[in-house]
Amino acid sequence: MPSSGKTHLPIEVAPSLSADVILPLRPSRQPLSRQTVIVIGSSTGGTEALRHVLSALPLHMPPILIAQHMPEMFTRSFATRLDSLSKLAVHEAENGEKLQDGTVYIAPGHSHLMIRPAQGVGFVTELSRGDAVNRHRPSVDVLFRSAANVAGRNAIGVLLTGMGRDGANGLLEMRQAGAYNIAQDEASCVVFGMPKEAIALGAAHEILPLQSIANRLVALASQRQASV
């Protein structure tokens, strides 16, 4: 067969970086604030899964931070849509916001979302336009690692439907720091990738169908707040 004369160059694939490129793993023996926080990660199928969970939550909830894999031109309108469907106040996160009960912070599509302590006010948001982690920015692993580092046993982690493994290692780090974690079950996932990887690592305390997650979060938040 005659040669086409074309030279096929190898396709370069960017390396998949870990959360180490954004922040080191330094879990605190004691939470750096008494505040309870909920962190949620999702990807493929996550927009509808988040709508289902958030619309079922009451107003009186701890602050909720979300890393959903989504291009930056859509995250603000996504937050606005969720805000219209939820009793909670939902908005695209900005840098340095004090975490407030009854409020949901959506990671903007251009930045990693993290939690950091601030003297006298508890926890605040932190954004980073650093390298993509697991080829994603925002990355669930980055959000979860920050929760492990500063919130420890005062954090609740949730990993919803999504392709790949982003969030699996971070959920394990949270568990090792004392947090309580939920993974969505296979039957209710659009793609059982991220939760499956986390479950395989032993990162989840519970594996729940989507329709049960909101009620469980209410119960867990109530337990956490009562013990503070």
Confidence of residue 20 (pLDDT cuts 50, 70, 90): very high
Q: What is the pLDDT of residue 31?
A: 86
Burial of 221 (0-12, 13-18, 19+ CB in 10 A): buried
- Residue 112 annotated in active site: no
Flag whether 131 is in a domain.
Answer: yes
Flag whether 154 is in a domain.
Answer: yes
Going through 120-169 in order, the beta strands assigned E by DSSP cover 122-128, 155-159
Flag whether 9 is in a domain.
Answer: no
Flag whether 218 is in a domain.
Answer: yes
Confidence of residue 48 (pLDDT cuts 50, 70, 90): very high
Q: What is the pLDDT of residue 33?
A: 86
- Residue 69 annotated in active site: yes
Going through the chain in order, the beta strands assigned E by DSSP cover 37-42, 64-68, 89-92, 103-106, 112-118, 122-128, 155-159, 180-184, 206-208
Q: What is the pLDDT of residues 183-207, one digit of tens each?
A: 999 999 999 999 999 999 999 999 9
Flag whether 16 is in a domain.
Answer: no
Q: What is the domain extent for residue 92? A: 35-227
Report the distance separating Cα 160 and Cα 50, nearest Å: 8
Task: Evaluate if residue 16 carries a pLDDT over 80.
Answer: yes
CA 5 and chain centroid, separation: 49
How far are the Cα atoms of 44, 77, 144, 160, 186 from residue 98, in angstroms, in the given order? 29, 22, 18, 25, 35
> Tell me, what CATH number does 126's domain have?
3.40.50.180
Strand partners, 65: 39, 105
Q: What is the pLDDT of residues 140-187, one digit of tens each?
A: 999 999 999 999 999 999 999 999 999 999 999 999 999 999 999 999
Strands 103-106 and 64-68: parallel
Segment 38-50 mean pLDDT: 98
**Number of domains forming the structure of the chain:** 1
- Residue 33 annotated in active site: no
Report the distance separating Cα 61 and Cα 77, nearest Å: 23
Task: Evaluate if residue 11 carries a pLDDT over 60.
Answer: no
Task: Evaluate if residue 2 carries a pLDDT over 60.
Answer: no
Nearest to 139 by CA among 154, 116, 159, 118: 159
Task: Evaluate if residue 121 carries a pLDDT over 70.
Answer: yes
Flag whether 220 is in a domain.
Answer: yes
Task: Evaluate if residue 6 carries a pLDDT over 80.
Answer: no
Residue 197 tokens, joined: 């990887």
Report the distance separating Cα 93 and Cα 62, nearest Å: 16
Question: Of 43, 139, 146, 188, which is the active-site residue?
Answer: 43
Question: Of 42, 111, 136, 166, which is the active-site residue?
Answer: 166
More confident residue, 163 or 29: 163
Question: Of 69, 86, 136, 141, which is the active-site residue?
Answer: 69
Flag whether 10 is in a domain.
Answer: no
Q: Does a cis peptide bond (omega within 30 degrees of 0) precede residue 138?
A: yes
Strand partners, 92: 106
The conformation of residue 153, written as its DSSP 8-state character, comes to G
Flag whether 26 is in a domain.
Answer: no
